[in-house]
Amino acid sequence: MPNIWIATFNNHKIKELKSMVPKEMTDIMLFSAKDLSFYSAPQEDGTSFLENAWIKAKAMKPLTPPTDWLIAEDSGIEVEALDGLPGIHSARYAGNSSSDMMNNDKLLKMLNFKSNGSRKARYFCQIVALGPKGQSFEASGECTGSIANGFSGSGGFGYDPIFIPNGFECSMAEISLKEKNKISHRKKAFTKFLSQLDS
């Protein structure tokens, strides 16, 4: 199996993706942007998750060994009552330097203005993979659920403390990484890529 590079500096995403490699694929080595001697993350000015994933993939692929694969992902949460927001702005919903806590807090406040609105939401992940022979592959995954009335749990990251996956009575931040990987939008997209790689 070839090495796989992940176009991100995000420690949480790196940890999750590494945990998603099946035991039978232990020969796969995952590296990230942190393993490069130099890499400057590009401006994500696309109008969709797919466009932003391509921006990141094209920016980092030339810096990785030509024999390796590279995957770039863009993900976020979409809330029905907010017309799909925060969407591609999920990481910066409360401002360019906002923390996860600030983003969560703003989302809850925006939903309070929609007192009779739906709390349905979904996590969405879009992956773009570029191969050593010019191959390209796109995969996506989603996890549906709803927005809670407040914060709960200390695990996960992003909007996990206020996102309740369908079939659960607790937030994504209250379940283990093993449980999260069974329903995760990121796991679903990454599994599609690994299946393509294995074939």
Which CA distances in Å does 186 have to 16, 22, 102, 161?
Answer: 8, 14, 23, 17
Of the candidates 117, 74, 77, 115, the one whose C-alpha atom is nearest the C-alpha of residue 93 is: 77
HSE value, Cβ hemisphere, 13 Å, CA-based, for 119: 17
105: annotated active-site residue: no
What is the identity of the amino acid at 9?
F
Q: Which helix (H) or strand (E) holds 108?
A: helix 100-112
| Inter-CA distances, 43 with 50, 55, 158, Å | 14, 8, 20
CA distance 71 to 51: 14
Token readout for 177 is 């990484």
Choosing from 27, 35, 45, 74, which is the catalytic residue? Answer: 74
Q: How many residues does the chain have?
A: 199
CA 22/CA 71 separation, integer angstroms: 17
- Asked if 60 and 32 count as a contact pair (C-beta separation under 8 A), the reply is no
Catalytic positions are: 74
